[in-house]
Amino acid sequence: MNHMFPILAAAEPAKAGLFTGLDWIIIAAYFGILLGITWWSIRRSKDTADDYFLAGRHLTWWIIGASIFASNIGSEHLVGLAGSGCTDGVAMAHYELHAWCLLVLAWVLVPFYMRSMVYTMPEFLEKRFSATARWVLSVISLVTYVLTKIAVGIFAGGVVFGVLLPEMKLDLGFATLNSFWIGSVAVVVLTGLYTVAGGMRAVAYTEALQTLVLVFGSILLTVFGLIKLGGWGELRNVLGSEMFNLWKPLIPQGVEGTWAPVKEAGRMAWYFNGNYPWLGMLFCAPIIGLWYWCTDQYIVQRALGAPNEQQARRGTIFAAFLKLLPVFIFIIPGMICFALAISGKVPAFQGLAVQEGGKWVANREECQAAFPLMVAHVLPSGLRGIVVAGLLAALMSSLAGVFNASSTLFTMDFYQKLRPRASQHQLVWMGRIATTVMVLIGLLWIPVIQGAKGLYHYLQSVQGYLAPPIFVVFFLGVFMKRLNARGCLAALIVGFGLGMFRLAVDTPVMLPLAGYENGYTAGSFWWIVNNIYFQYFSLLIFVVCIAVMVGVSYLSPVPEEARIKGLTFATTTDEQRAQSRSSWTGRDVLASAAVLVLILLAYLYFRG
């Protein structure tokens, strides 16, 4: 097959100088365009909170969709998702096929959000329940962003730079920074600069550009990887049907299929490939997905920037289409990387695969670098620069999103509450200061997250601990008008407490900290807590939150009808229903149906 693609001769690893002049020109051009968009955003900006945090509510549907996708497709995909493809095949595609959750946002929650004209998700919770609920959710959200999105973004930036520029060092006199530190700091600082300067407009428009670069570059990587390996048929032949079985985690296999531990390093662990509990995947994964896509400020803020309900809905439907791509542009390249390691066609990949009992097994730690390794050793000069720009786009877009969301939460939910008479100018500057603080927190987090192992699992587990109470108060709040502020507050506090307790127990083992490399003493209370599978613990939090919210609400007064008018299905007026109905057409329904059909086709194809 190589005679058809002579450019592949240039794709072999170049030990001295990974990047050519053409690569550097492409990367420089990418940053030049980012600078231009940021400058354009600054020139167009108005010194108001509405403009800085929501781009003046003028975002069109394609900008909203691309921005949602770019915010989601970040470092956890480049490092974590591609790594999971290398180790476990298509198993993680379940999370990526949660595109249907965006349809729930589009058709169920967007009408309520747009009607309420809020800046933040906690502000919506205040309208539905109370000011205290708003404050508590803001605290939970900011903690979640630091522990997940910022931490993961920093770690992935270091991994990418460590692979692509391993020899890079910076001598400060009192210390020498390696490529991991340089990459982490560079990604955080550069992203912080244009986020602070341009606000939501700069974030949204740069993310639209980054979506194009990321998708195009990742498709190139998939195509050249398959060419290097010998095609799709060779990929299936080398890896076997097990790596292509998307159904296995969902098919009941008796008691052992619901609770299937694997002994590793003196402690119990669970993995997706053959040992992934189907109950957790079937019931917990949708909870995390609906929380993330429908109630998280990080995602929903883009829809809030729409001028009307129609543009917000169409933007989220467009994002649902884009969300189907990661299976093919991140998971598949990870699988190709593992297949190339097994076949021996790329010597640099040999450490990724080892034989155990006559079977090839992936080295989980090494596989975290699968995507950047593919960039370094499979792509030719020129194209390598495009994909590296895509890598940087993903790293920066996810961090830009979280910086902007965090500054919005802090400014509108804390500062404005404390300073209700603050001018629009003061709100904008506080947003810039809050973003700068988040950047500094990100820099301080580098030495902590540097030791993390199993990036994608870390991300999903932390989200699993913190998502259930937020999911419960939003969805039950919209569907059940009888639930009140006391029930909401009790559910948030109890759920957040349980999640932080589990996270405090897990963190020493996940990082791992000195003395906790092998976990806790077997049979101890802490060992039991640490070894309850994270999805099962998440389901426990979910059930407890429902019981607490419903129980406390029914033991306390009924909420005033006038207060919750238009904020639940039961209190929506005929006029509001008619207005919402006029915002969509048959094309929107057909587009949503197409997303569902594509998801079904993916499940039908990936059956092993």
Q: Does residue 274 register a pLDDT over 70? A: no
Average pLDDT over residues 156-168: 71
> Any idea which of 118-127, 344-353, 385-394 has the lowest mean pLDDT?
385-394
Average pLDDT over residues 36-41: 80
pLDDT band at 268 (very low <50, low <70, confident <90, very high): very low
Measured distance CA(529)–CA(510) in Å, rounded: 14
Report which of residues 281 and 573 the model is more confident about: 573
Kindly report, residue by residue over 409-428, the tens digit of the pLDDT. Answer: 888 888 888 888 888 888 88
Check residue 452 and give its pLDDT: 53
Report which of residues 91 and 5 the model is more confident about: 91
Average pLDDT over residues 471-495: 96
Q: Does residue 450 register a pLDDT over 60? A: no
Tell me: cis bond preceding 512? Omega within 30 of 0 counts. Answer: yes
Report which of residues 222 and 523 the model is more confident about: 222
Degrees (nearest 5) of the Cα angle 481, 99, 374?
145
- Domains in the chain (CATH in brackets) are 2-605 (1.20.1730.10)
Measured distance CA(578)–CA(476) in Å, rounded: 23
Alpha helical stretches, state H, 174-308: 179-229, 232-239, 255-258, 278-295, 297-304
Check residue 44 and give its pLDDT: 75
Average pLDDT over residues 397-417: 82
> Any idea which of 112-116, 236-240, 353-357 has the lowest mean pLDDT?
353-357
Measured distance CA(331)–CA(96) in Å, rounded: 10
- Enumerate long-range contacts of 247-253, CB under 8 Å, 24 or more apart: 247/603, 247/606, 247/607, 247/608, 248/91, 248/273, 248/274, 248/276, 248/608, 249/91, 249/94, 249/276, 249/277, 249/278, 249/281, 250/94, 250/278, 250/281, 250/282, 251/278, 252/278, 253/278
Kindly report, residue by residue over 79-94, the tens digit of the pLDDT. Answer: 678 888 888 888 878 8
Check residue 262 and give its pLDDT: 45
Question: Cα Rg for the chain, rounded, in angstroms?
Answer: 24
Check residue 18 and give its pLDDT: 67
Kindly report, residue by residue over 330-343, the tens digit of the pLDDT. Answer: 899 999 999 999 98
> Any idea which of 203-207, 266-270, 403-407, 517-521 has the lowest mean pLDDT?
266-270
Within 10 angstroms of residue 88's Cβ, the number of other Cβ atoms is 27
Kindly report, residue by residue over 43-97, the tens digit of the pLDDT. Answer: 776 667 666 666 667 788 998 998 888 878 766 666 678 888 888 888 878 878 8
Report which of residues 253 and 599 the model is more confident about: 599
pTM of the model: 0.83
Q: Does residue 11 register a pLDDT over 50? A: no
**Token pair for residue 347?**
């010597």
Q: Does residue 560 register a pLDDT over 50? A: yes
Q: Which residues share a beta bridge with 362?
A: 353
Measured distance CA(29)–CA(237) in Å, rounded: 40
Q: Does residue 139 register a pLDDT over 50? A: yes
Instruction: Taking the CA atoms of 243, 246, 252 and 258 in sequence, report the sign of the dihedral they define.
Output: positive
